Amino acid sequence: MSTNNHDLGYLELLARQYPSIQAASTEIINLNAILHLPKGTEHFLSDIHGEHEPFLHVLRNGSGTLSRRIEEMFQSTLLERERRELATLIYYPNRMLTRRLSQLGAEGMEDWYRVTLFRLVQVCRVMSSKYTRSKVRKALPPAFAYILEELLHEQESIENKQEYYQSIVDTIISTGRARAFIVAMAELIQRLTIDHLHIIGDVYDRGPGAHIIMDALMAYHSVDFQWGNHDIVWMGAATGSPACIANVIRICLRYANMETLEGGYGISLLPLATLAMDAYGDDPCRQFQVKAPPGEEYTQNELLLLARMQKAISIIQFKLEGAIIQRRPEFEMDDRLLLDKIDWEAGTVQVDGQSYPLNDTLFPTVDPADPYALSEAERNVVQRLIYSFQDNKKLQEHVRFLYSVGGMYRIYNGNLLYHGCIPMEPDGAFSDFAIDGPGQRPYQGRALLDRIDRLVRQAYFASNPDQQQGGQDMMWYLWTGAQSPLFGKKKMATFERYFIDDKTPHAEQRDPYYHLRDQPQTVSRILEEFGLDPDRGHIINGHVPVKVRKGENPVKAGGRLLVIDGGFARAYQGQTGIAGYTLISNSYGLLLAAHQPFESVEQILEGGRGPHSQTEILETNTRRIRVRDTDLGRNIQRQIDELRALLDAYRGGLIKER
């Protein structure tokens, strides 16, 4: 960086932070040293679908990394049972300590504390070895920062340090701080195991703990997020989009997932329940039977009420969606206007020019003369629900976080991350979408995702009502539209699946992307579109579960594209045969961890092995990747160049030391 007049103002600002030659030189030395450290470990997870317990377990055990490291460290010195207990202690320190106290009693705990503290220090040293002392120091819990730093960097094998080291451990125990110290060290080890976390979409859906996952992500030390279709519909609901709100509630009712909606966010469905009983009180709603998860117990009356509420919100949804389709001709979704295609006398509906008999003709709130108009009772319900979502403090905190760390895609260390697809034509060309209306510029590829990203942000942040409305409509379209990069199908056949027994119109054709992505030339085209090296970059993708049970491979296009939706959600594990993937990128290469189903924390605490993770090495680097080879390294190098320019300015007399 030169020190010409144009740059001098910037260097003057930089000099406030580094006011002398010594300060600038010291920082250059520090930054240059960081460039030579091993690259931090990245973990990629996708399609968690509200399954908080297995997700949190994967974070705690580093996708199996911690257990493997403990095996390596203590294979010759500890029994298998002892290694397993040490790992479990790191994953669940509070619960494990409570169990150990009940087994040993207060008197027996002292020796156990002493042995355990030494073992944890060993593990912590190994896990912190690839970081600078400064970075580790920032991760230390404030209450124990000084003591932990001493233990991590002192060598107890050195003769003149043995008593000093031992005295620290003894004092921790004698002052009654051993339990708190062990918890702090276990949490530090967990944090050091994963340097950066990537979530490739879909925290929300039918699982009960999306709100718990969001709390964990907000507290996480380093994370980014690529929005998924289930996330975007919740984000749209938080902005006040009535159609998104209706979809969110319908799905929660469909799968009896009331925990996130009512327990997590405290959103009351009483107005909807009242409408359902008034309008559908005599309706058996057979096709709206709830798909309750295993283990959930509901009475017949409760199930019937949920079914009636589900029908009530479904009809509201179809009306609200019809209004969007009519005011947004650019969405080209007239084929989804089905309420006006019903022949009320014949009891049939026209879908794609074909007539099908309806299995239900009870539509008490639909006016055949104006089928997309909400009844007065429906309007009141919608208005109260909009207020409940917009005024919900916790939901708004979660959604604002998704805006701050999230986006439609992310380019990170030479890889391209996105949830769904890049809309394509059958011949492999990127699809055009005149997203701003008829006659406006069509977008495709990266430009399409960039434009969508901006519209999604306008839905939440714009003060202009038209921009806000346009953004909200786009968020609904992303949930269900044919050109949506997050949906990836030609239609969402919700109406047909509810009201037509004939399965012919139920089919939802996937975007051509999903068979073209197996071809290396397709992946190369996409990587080049986003400015990445097609020979070295990867696409990391989620959204569509990999059917491992049927022999499908998550590694596609000769290793250039990796699909990491392996079935975190229990509902998909019958298809996949596993319980989720984690992609791990460390300084040595790429690994794919396939997880087995998670039973319970209690099963692990009782001495069980916990869900096994089978790790496959996908790529091995010819040389170990250092920080200098990463995006962070390039930013650090830019800082070094700027500091060198500041040194030149000091030495050349352009800027005075302070």
pLDDT value at residue 327: 95
> Is 522 part of a structural domain of the chain?
no
Same domain, 119 and 228: no
- Confidence at 549, pLDDT banded by 50, 70, 90: confident
Q: Can you tell me the distance from the alpha carbon of 312 to that of 616, in angstroms, rounded to the nearest whole number? A: 48
Give the contacts of 72 (CB within 8 A, at least 6 positions apart).
none
Residues 621 and 640 in one domain: no
Q: Predicted confidence band at 3 (pLDDT cuts at 50, 70, 90)?
A: low
Q: Are 549 and 575 in contact (CB under 8 A)?
A: yes
Give the pLDDT confidence score for residue 166 in this predicted structure. Answer: 83
> Is residue 80 domain-resident?
yes
pLDDT at residue number 288: 96
Confidence label for 609 from pLDDT (cuts 50, 70 and 90): low
CB 459 within 8 A of CB 453: no
Print burial letters for 565-578: b (CB count within 10 Å at least 16), e (below 16): bbbbbbbbbeebbb
Alpha carbon distances (Å) from 430 to 226, 408, 517, 561: 20, 17, 12, 17
**Distance of alpha carbon 276 from alpha carbon 254, whole angstroms:** 15
Question: Which two structure tokens, joined as six digits, stand for 389?
Answer: 């979502």
Q: How far is CA 415 from CA 36, 422, 533, in A?
A: 21, 15, 9
Which SS3 state, helix, strand or coil, does residue 503 take? coil
Q: Is residue 116 domain-shared with residue 20, that is, in the same domain?
A: no
| Angle ∠(55,59,65) on CA atoms, nearest 5 | 125
Structure tokens at 591: 């690994």
- Sorting pLDDT into bands at 50, 70 and 90, what band is 154? low
pLDDT category at 136 given cuts 50, 70, 90 is confident
Domain of 289, in residue numbers: 210-506
Hey, CA dihedral for 184, 185, 190, 193, is it positive or negative? positive
Residue 472's Cβ-count burial label (10 Å; 0-12, 13-18, 19+) is: buried
Task: Kindly tell me the burial class for residue 24, based on how many C-beta atoms sit within 10 Å of its own C-beta (0-12, 13-18, 19 or more).
Answer: buried
Give the per-residue pLDDT at 295: 67
Q: What is the mean pLDDT of the chain?
A: 91
Does residue 515 fall inside a structural domain?
Answer: no
Least confident range of 2-11, 152-161, 260-269: 152-161
Q: Is the same domain home to 496 and 601?
A: no
Flag whether 232 is in a domain.
yes
Question: pLDDT tens across 20-29, in order?
Answer: 999 999 999 9
Is position 215 within any domain?
Answer: yes
In total, how many domains does the chain have? 3
Please check whether residues 410 and 495 belong to one and the same domain: yes
Question: Burial code of 433-464, b = ≥16 C-beta within 10 A, e = fewer?
Answer: bebeeeeeeebbbbebbebbeebbebbbebee
Same domain, 168 and 225: no
Whole-angstrom distance, CA of residue 413 vs CA of residue 423: 24
Q: What is the pLDDT of residue 138?
A: 85
134 and 218 housed in the same domain: no
Which segments of 198-327 does DSSP mark as H helices, in order? 210-218, 229-239, 242-254, 258, 270-280, 300-327
In Å, how far from its chain's centre is CA 398? 12
Q: 63 and 154 in one domain?
A: yes
Is 41 within 8 Å of 195 (Cβ atoms)? Answer: yes
| Amino acid in the structure at residue 385 | L
* Residues 139 and 264 placed together within one structural domain of the fold: no
By the 10 Å C-beta count (0-12 exposed, 13-18 middle, 19+ buried), 160 is classed as exposed
Are residues 455 and 433 in contact, defined by beta-carbon separation less than 8 angstroms? no
Percent above pLDDT 90 for the chain: 73
Are 65 and 140 contained in the same domain? yes
For residue 657, is it within any domain?
no
103 neighbors 652 (Cβ within 8 angstroms) = no
452-468 average pLDDT score: 97
- Mean pLDDT in residue range 336-341: 97
Backbone angles phi, psi at 17, to 5 degrees: -85, -35
The reply to whether 645 and 616 lie within a common domain is no
pLDDT at residue 142, as a whole number: 86
User: For position 2, what pLDDT does the model report?
Assistant: 54
My answer on whether 291 and 307 are in the same domain is yes
**What percent of the chain shows pLDDT beyond 70?**
97
> Is residue 528 assigned to a domain?
no
Is 76 a domain residue? yes
Across the range 246-269, mean pLDDT stands at 94
